[in-house]
Each structure stands twice: as C-alpha cells, then as structure tokens.
Structure 1
Amino acid sequence: MRDLSRILASDRVAVSGRRGVPRRRLVLAAAGTAVLAVAAGGVALETFRQPQPAFAATPAILSYGPPASAEPASTRLRQLAASAAAQPAPQRPAGTVEHLESANWFLNSSISGGRTTSAVVPQQWRSWRTDNDAGRMVKRDLPPTFRTAVDRREWQRRGGRVDSVQEVRDSAAGDFYTPFQGPVPTEAETLRQWLTAGAGAPEAPVQYLEDVAELAGVRLLNPAQRAAVLMLLADLPGITAAGTVTDRAGRHGEAFSIVSDAHGLPAQYTVIVDPGTGALLGYEEMLTTTAGKLNVVIPAVISYRSYLIAEYAPMPR
C-alpha cells in the first residue's frame, strides 16, 4: 500500500496550495442549473444555502508528452491490444480469488443558488471475487480535505463527515458487483454487448470508456480480456491519443481521451494504458471549458482512479 499512501499524500499537498452500486450516468451541473445528483465516482451535488467559498482545490493536472506514435489513436490502440493478447496468462495458485485495489479521488460539491462548497474525498477500494460471483468489497473513505477552514466548518455544519469511514460488503454467490458478473468477454463486440446487457446502448460513446474504467477497478482481466477492452476503445468515435504520461502512481503509460458534454459540462475523459501489458493504469475526468456551478478553476480534474493491484490472492477471513 505504499503507492496508495504516496498518491494520497501528494494530493493533500496539491489541495493545500461506484462504488458498490450500479453504474452511474453522471449529470454535471451546467451554468445556471440547480441539480441534485448523483453517485460516488464523480461529482456529488447537494442543494442548500451557504456562503460562497474560495475555489476548491483539485489535483495537479498530469503532464502529457507527445504520443508514442504518430498514427491515429484507433491504430495505436489496436497495436496495444495485439501486444496485450500476446502476454502470458497469469498463474493462479490454488485457493485464490480475484483481488484488486485502487486509490480514488472524488470532488464532492454542494450547490444552491450559485453558492458552492466542496470537499476533496480520497477513497481506497479493495475487493475479492470468487468464480461464482461471491466476494467482499471494502470501500474506505479517508478524511476529506478542504480549501479553507471556513469550508470545513460549513461542511460540518451541514452534516458532512470529516473522519474516516469504512464500508465492508460481503456478497453471497451471484451477488458480487452485479453490473459485471460472470466471465468477461474476450471479443470487443461481445464485450460491448455484455457491458450494456439489460440497460441498452448508451447515448454517448464516452459511456463505454467510463464502463471499462469501472470494470478495471473490480475485475481481474487476463490478456485476452485486456485486448478486448482496448479493441472496444479503438472503435469509439472521437477517441484521441492524449500523449505519454507518468501516472499518479509513478508508472509510465499512454493516455487516450474522449471530449464529451454527454453529462452536462464539456469534459475530457481519459484512460491511461500500460504499453507493455495493455492493462489500464488509471482513469480521469477533467472539466475543460466551463465549471458551471462547481467552484473549480478550469481546467480541473474532478475525479480519478488509480488501479494499484490486480492479482490472485486468498480470500480474507
């Protein structure tokens, strides 16, 4: 967990200067709109009256270098998919299950009448899943941080928590993280249909990118499954190569983005891919042109996920 500690520590420095529920369709508050939304994993909004604070601090924006290839993003993603598919399947010791850990960061803002206060909420996710979709999910909300002491007091006055809280959910067979149960498909088109089973096709291509980002946080993907994810991304309209980047855990990756206003405000949705294994290293959402009623300075990262561990391990007792 040293990576997790370093990520959260570095973000607290920056500040000072899903989710065990079905997949969410995040609605961001456009300018002049009063909104009550939504689910963890994005920007949570509540409505009440309060003094207007200073701009909320958000994580430093990652520094992107030139793309690894001059070819279109779709071509490069297919190349990465081929590399992923060629990787050896991981060895699975007897008596082990899928074990994943991630560090996440979400901006939680309360908005009313053009007045906003915000808390920076780091989270740690850990999960263990068996082959019959039983398992355990542990979500720990770490103490939120605030731009000012005034924001903190106002947050507390309105009933917002300021301490750590941990939720442990044990699931019987067939109940673990219901959006993503059973074997993950190894073909892109089958994966596309599997992601939307029972919900219908999404209204915007970016929602497929969001779904695979959520999938990477709760399921251990083998080389063929990682290749299918990359092939699905390669076929998304509007996907571009954002460049090479060192992610928030210090790992080298290639970033691919879609800019969309499907959730209300124009935002850039980015996945970071390990060029060696094809695994997703991270996912970020960044407002690009306007913040609406959110008290952030544009451009602003409003959420990210950093996938730290994906392995086979014993189920904890």
Structure 2
Amino acid sequence: MSDELELLRAADPVPSGEGPWRDRPLHARAERHLNRLLHSGRTRRARRRLVLRAEAAVLALGAALAFTFSGAGAAKAVAVPVALAPRAGTASVSLDELARRAEARARAAGAADGPHRGSHVQSWCLSMAAGPDAAPPVTAPEEHLTRWRADGSGSELVVATDPRHPGRPVIDDTGGNWRTVNDGEVLHRKSYPAGPAGGQRGLAARTPPPTDPEALREQLAALYGGAGARTPRLLSALSSLRQEWTPGPRETAAIVRVLADAEGLRPAGAVTDRLGRRGQAYVYDGPDGGMNATRQMVVLDPRTGQLMGSEVTFTRALPDLRVKAGQVLSYETWMP
C-alpha cells in the first residue's frame, strides 16, 4: 500500500466494517450493466469528468454514483454512496444556537488558531449523460489532500480509495475509459516551488476567509459565484471556499452565522457522517435553480460548528437520467 494512502488514512482512520454507511448490493439489472461495462471491448468517446458542487451539479444534470468491488476476486459488485439519514427522534440544534457556540469558541481561540490554506476531502462525483445509449455512471472514490506553506510552496495529492474498504480495488474513470485500480493508486500528484510562481493560483487562493459574517458573505458572493443571492449558491460557494481553505475557530463562527441567516435551511437532526463522526444535519429542499429535484444537506459539528460535509440527493425520479428519488447526486466529506 502506498505511503501516500497511509498518510491520508492516518489523518482520520475509520474501521471499514462499522457504521450505517455500508454499501447495499446492486440489483440484477445493474449488475448486468456493470458486467457489460467492465468486459466491453468498445472504445467510448472520452468525456471530461466534472467535479460537482450543489447547484452546479443540478444544472449539469449529473449523478454522483461510484462503484467498487466487494473483494479482490469477487464477482458481485456494490453501489455507493447511500444517502445520509438523520436519526428520527434525535434532538436538533438550531443554527442560531450553534452559531453562539461557535462564537464562544472563537473568543477563546489564540493568535495561532487562524485558517490555513489547503484542504483534506473525500468525494464521490461525476457527470452523467442522458439517453438510452449512455454508459452507466462510474467513477473512483477520491481523496484529495492539498497543503501550502507561507513561502508559496505546496503540494496536491489525489488518491483513488474507498475508506470503507481499505486494500480492495476500486473502479476508475480516466477520460471516459473505465478500469480497475488498486486501492491507494495516485491519480494526481504535483509539487509547487516557493515564490510567487508556486501555488498562487488566483485571488480566492490568496484571500483568507474573513471572520466577520457580513464580510464573509460579500467575499463568497464576489469570489465564488453570487453566493449572496440564494441558499443553493451559498452552499456551493462554501464548498468552493472549503476546497481552498481550512477555517479556524473565528472563520468557522462566521460561516455558521451566515448559514443561520440563510433562507430555508432547517435542522434535520443528528447524523453520522461517512467517517463515523457525529454531526448535526441541516437541509435545504426549496427551489434549487435547476429542475427543482434535489435536496441539499450540510453537516456541522454540534460542538464547534465546523463544516464536516455536504450532500445533494434527488427528491424525485428523473427517468431520462436513470436516477431515482433518494439517490445521491454528490457529496463531500471534510477533515481538519
């Protein structure tokens, strides 16, 4: 197993057989599609793989589905991901109360507890074509780790891995060509030198998130696509911000206060995320700007307000895209 994968897992290890996020088997028709996909000799037209975020995913009419083998030599496959399900009957923490908790934590933070550039995220996402001849949607579960230093140097690492099944092969989509890859295979790795020509990729990368909620809202609107207009755009903008920066306590307090002021974002109860962490789920199921067919969920740490993850699921079936109500469109799981 690669040293890179060990480094990623050491950041937040999770037992592979625990939790409600375990896979469910494909039905017979889906297995036939997958077998035909794996054993077909036809060359398919390459298509660009898209990283989906909340509203962008809706507008692109994508479907975030991933496939992984149940064992190195097994024939049966299983489909992921399963939608996160807030636990019925659990107490909900209002966003206003969580904002107060985050603000109290921010007041106790030290001078060194600021944001740092870079992120650590696990995601499942891809674009999907419609029509009877469209290939089934397949992509590898990916883990991204980016780290940057004050002198501008840094690194980016993308690894194909399913954290629930360490050591087992996963399926990868490389330019529309599907293949199995070993768990931990490096899909992308790049180092950047120190200096202005290093990892300085744009204004967003050079601009730390503000600690004032109103200033943060303005920055999200200016740098990440009109976040001030509607809640779906706000959630998409926060995802983009989180890909560039890991917030400290003060920035986290500003994020939670902005969410508390967002229209239509309601508490949905306690939830266990895909890394086995306990969180509080907040759901937006209003107009999404596309086909009004999705529900967006953000998961926050109930003690600190830290952004733990986000998920988009379909609220109704879209037969042209071969998706069902309740199916996951995309998700991201964030780590410190």
What is the TM-score when the length of structure 1 is the normalising length?
0.70
Give aligned-pair identity as a percent.
25
Displacement of 1:285:
1.1
Indicate the residue corresponding to 1:68 in structure 2: 91
Task: Please say if 1:227 is aligned against 2:220.
Answer: no
Q: Provide closer, same or farther for how the CA distance between residues 6 and 304 of structure 1 changes in structure 2, counting only shifts above 3 A.
A: farther
Distance in 1, matches of 2:174 and 2:309, equals 31
Identify the match of residue 178 of structure 2 among 160, 182, 185: 160
Task: Give the Cα separation in 2 of the matches to 1:283 and 1:24.
Answer: 8
Q: Does 1:110 align with 2:129?
A: yes
Distance in 1 between residues matched to 2:210 and 2:143, nearest whole Å: 27
Other-structure match for 2:106: 85
- Alignment-mate amino acid for residue 61 of structure 1: A
Q: Which runs of 5+ in 2 are unaligned?
A: 1-8, 27-48, 66-77, 163-170
Q: Please, which of 281, 295, 316 is the counterpart of residue 255 of structure 1?
A: 281
What is the letter of the counterpart of residue 195 of structure 1? L
The Cα of 1:60 is off from its aligned counterpart by 2.1
The aligned counterpart of 1:182 is 207
- The alignment's C-alpha RMSD in Å is 4.1
Distance in 1 between the 2:315 and 2:159 partners?
29
AA paired with 2:308?
Answer: L
Q: Secondary structure at the match of 2:177?
A: coil
Residues 1:11 and 1:126: Cα distance change in structure 2 (over 3 Å): farther
CA contact (8 A) 2:316 2:324 kept: no
Unaligned runs of 5+ in 1: 30-36, 46-55, 144-151, 311-317
The reply to whether residue 302 of structure 1 matches residue 332 of structure 2 is no
Deviations, residues 176-215 of structure 1 (Å, cap 9, x unaligned): 4653422210011111111222566245321111221332
Are the structure 2 counterparts of residues 258 and 23 from structure 1 closer, same or farther at C-alpha, using a change threshold of 3 Å?
closer
Match of 1:135 among 154, 158, 169: 154
Shift of 1:107: 4.7
Map Cα deviations across residues 239-277 of structure 1 (whole Å, 9 max, x no partner): 100111111111111111212422434211111111222
**Partner residue of 2:44?**
none
**Residues 146, 157 of structure 2: 8 Å contact kept:** yes
- Identify the residue that residue 100 of structure 1 maps to in structure 2: 119
| Residue 170 (structure 1) aligns with | 191
Q: Residue 103 of structure 1: CA displacement?
A: 1.6
SS of aligned partner of 1:60: coil
CA distance in 2, matches of 1:135, 1:205: 33
